[in-house]
Amino acid sequence: MKLKLIEEKGAHVLDIEGEVDLRGFKILKAGIAKLLKDGKNKMILDFSRTPKIDPGCLRELAELNLIARELSGEILLASLSPMMRMNIENLGKPSALTCFPSRAAALTILTRMGQEPEDEEEDEDTKGMGVEELLAKKKDEVKGLKDQLKQRETGELSKLREQLVTYQTNIKTLEQKVLASLKERRQSDDLAIATERSMMLEKRCVELSQALEESDKGKK
């Protein structure tokens, strides 16, 4: 395993080449310890050229990161293989190690960590107010927002009720139309059946009449 220290954008990057076994991790651990001792507590470990790291080393690496955090720093890991990521996830939740897909992504976060947050500009409306006055003003603003929300909800509920009544009326009208249609269809079916039966009876009467005429002729 080869280890190379690179300073990039104010951050210290340890570029690791080769497989990290227990023996090689001792060298890596010594390098991290030296950086922490020198006050360089924000660093990135670049594993883009590392095919494998012994799982037993990850727990010690997590412990080193906790030390860095106590010193207001962080040890970020970059460009790990899927198997290495899985081994880190198996350490437990929340993870004591933070991983990034690339060195550039880790550098971006590490750079932001070194920046102090800008002070918010004071609102002209609250400038010069005491704490109690400011608190009272904020409570009034919250009350006003709640009232607006309540009025809006009341108006929306009224519209929904009107739509519900309209839908119920439309449904009732449709039901009446369906019932009327079914009734007309039933009446039409009954008429067709009666007509068919009447035609059959007429036909039967004709047949009987013809049979009687033939029977009379035979007697004569």
- pLDDT exceeds cutoff 80 at 182: no
What's the whole-number mean pLDDT along residues 20-35?
91
Q: Which of 76, 63, 67 is nearest to 112 (CA)?
A: 76
From the candidate CATH numbers 3.30.70.120, 3.30.750.24, 2.40.50.90, 3.30.70.3270, the one assigned to the domain spanning 2-113: 3.30.750.24
The answer to whether 1 touches 17, Cβ cutoff 8 Å, is yes
What pLDDT does residue 116 have? Answer: 44
- pLDDT exceeds cutoff 80 at 105: yes
* Confidence band for 49, pLDDT divided at 50, 70 and 90: very high
Reading the block at residue 18, the tokens are: 């080769």
Q: Which residues contact 173 (CB under 8 A, 6 or more apart)?
A: none
- pLDDT exceeds cutoff 50 at 14: yes
Please state, in angstroms and rounded to a whole number, the distance separating the CA atoms of residues 57 and 64: 11
What's the whole-number mean pLDDT along residues 43-48?
94
What pLDDT does residue 17 have? Answer: 92
DSSP-derived pairing of the beta strands 74-78 and 2-8: unpaired
> Please, which residues bridge with residue 98 across strands?
76
- Residues 130-177: tens digit of each pLDDT: 555 655 665 676 666 667 666 766 666 677 777 777 777 777 777 777
Q: Which of 73, 128, 71 is nearest to 98 (CA)?
A: 73
- pLDDT exceeds cutoff 50 at 77: yes
> Please, which residues bridge with residue 12 across strands?
7, 43
Higher pLDDT, 66 or 161: 66
- pLDDT exceeds cutoff 90 at 126: no
What pLDDT does residue 114 have? Answer: 57
Q: Which strand ranges, in their side-by-side order, compose the sheet holding 98-100?
A: 2-8, 11-17, 42-49, 74-78, 98-100
Radius of gyration of the chain (CA): 45
The answer to whether 36 touches 69, Cβ cutoff 8 Å, is no
DSSP-assigned letter for residue 53: B
3-state secondary structure of 149: helix
What pLDDT does residue 160 have? Answer: 72
Measured CA distances, 29 to 26, 55, 62, 112 (Å): 5, 14, 11, 25
What pLDDT does residue 72 have? Answer: 85
What's the whole-number mean pLDDT along residues 63-70?
87
- pLDDT exceeds cutoff 70 at 30: yes
- pLDDT exceeds cutoff 50 at 210: yes
Higher pLDDT, 187 or 84: 84
Reading the block at residue 212, the tokens are: 């009687």
What's the whole-number mean pLDDT along residues 7-32?
90
CB atoms within 10 A of CB 61: 21
* Confidence band for 120, pLDDT divided at 50, 70 and 90: very low
Higher pLDDT, 67 or 138: 67
